[in-house]
Amino acid sequence: MSKMLLIRHAQASLLAADYDQLSEKGFLQSRLLGEYLVQQKSHFDKVYIGPLKRHRQTFLEVKSIYQANDLPLPQPILIEELDEHRSMETMKDIEPLLAKHQPQFQQWIQEMSIQPTPKMKMKMVDTFLNIWARDSFGFELPEGTQRFPDFHAQAKKGLDLVMEGNEKGKSIAVFSSGGCIGVMLGKVLGMEDPVKIMGLNLVMVNCAMSEVLFSGSRLSLKSFNATPHLSEEMITTM
């Protein structure tokens, strides 16, 4: 049986021009994760990362702690399917339609244009993700927009690629995003409801670890959303 440690990236830069960049707290979260893994003598045969900068930055901070302790950490293998969903780009692109068909969004969009706050942004994101997962917008999405079933298929393929060739006694680490990890854990748990699958994403904190045991096609969840390396003030969700 093999072990797979699914690691959500550390805190990104919410409300900044470049969200795909770790915040100062995110860099610290990553180093704390590295210190914890070193203390636990965690060894990995392979490491996989998604294509985003925040995935790579989280890994590199962990790697720096391993190197400081003269411990090996494999070079990461990039898997494009470990990418995050593009629902946030979709939300921005269809803001006028959301304001027209979803009254609550009209209010949030107006408030965000005056004084944006992380709390308000999170409300918008949480609500939008549930609508996106159910495909219940009340209007047709523009052509080329990523839909949940397409993302769901992508993330499940990412899981298959990570497991391929690692079914016997391997220990692997995966650095990705909450949405992608949520889909993977949904497959582990046999979830079919897209809203419940996205619900895993919505409760997952930055730099959290979820451990999966697998052998062949058998998958078992050992732990979910664990943050023993983070104090309460270091817990973030975006």
Where in the sequence is the domain holding 69, given as residue range(s)? 9-84+146-234
On whether residue 4 sits in a domain, the answer given is no
Amino acid at 56: R
Confidence (pTM): 0.91
C-alpha 3: how far from its chain's center? Answer: 19
Per-residue pLDDT of the chain (238 residues; tens, 9 = 90+): 999 999 999 999 866 666 789 999 999 999 999 999 999 999 999 999 999 999 999 999 999 999 999 999 999 999 999 999 998 889 888 888 888 888 888 888 888 888 888 788 788 888 888 899 998 888 888 888 899 999 999 999 999 999 999 988 999 999 999 999 999 999 999 999 999 999 999 899 999 999 999 998 889 999 999 999 999 999 998 8
**72 and 157 both lie in a single domain:** yes
Residue 123 and residue 73 share a domain:
no
DSSP 8-state class, residue 204: P
In a domain, 139, yes or no: no
Same domain? For 74 and 114 the reply is no
Residue 182 lies in a domain: yes
Crossing angle of helices 103-114 and 118-134, rounded to 10°: 150
Same domain, 99 and 185: no
Scanning the chain, the segments in alpha helix (DSSP H) are 24-39, 53-68, 87-93, 95-101, 103-114, 118-134, 148-163, 178-189, 194-203
